[in-house]
Amino acid sequence: MGNHTIRTLPCRKAIVPIGGSTRRQFLTGSALAAGLALLQAKQNAFASTASGPIAPNDPIAVTKIETFVLKNSWVFVKLSTNAGITGWGEMLKDDAKACAAGALEVADYLLGKDPRPVVKHWQAIHRGSFYRGGPIKTAILSGIDQALWDITGKCYGVPVYKLLGGPTRDRVRVYGEPNEETGVNAMKVGPWAARKAFKYAEGQRFVDEVVERFSALKSSRPGVDIGLDFHGAVQPTTATLLIKALEPYHPWFYEEVVQALNVDVMAELAKKTHIPLATGERIFTKWGFREILEKKAAMILQPDVNYAGGITELKIIAGMAESYYAPLAPHNPNGPCSLAASLQIAASIPNFMVQERGDREHDLLAEPLPPVRDGYRPIPTGPGLGITIDEEKLMSEVGEPEPYRVQYDPDDGSVVDW
How far lies 255's CA from each of 205, 243, 282, in Å?
22, 11, 12
Q: Which of 4, 121, 126, 231 is catalytic?
A: 231
SS3 159: strand
Rounded Cα distance between 318 and 302, Å, is 10
Rounded Cα distance between 286 and 197, Å, is 31
Rounded Cα distance between 198 and 93, Å, is 24
SS (H, E, C) 31-95: HHHHHHHHHHHHHHHHHHHCCCCCCCCCCCCEEEEEEEEECCCCEEEEEEECCCCEEEEEECCCC
The answer to whether residue 362 is catalytic is no
Nearest CA-CA partner of 344 in 161, 176, 79: 161
Give the residues across from 79 on adjacent strands.
65, 87
Q: Which of 4, 121, 126, 331 is catalytic?
A: 331
The answer to whether residue 274 is catalytic is no
Q: Cβ distance 362 to 339 under 8 Å?
A: yes
What is the CA 38 to chain-centroid distance, rounded? 42
Catalytic residues: 231, 331
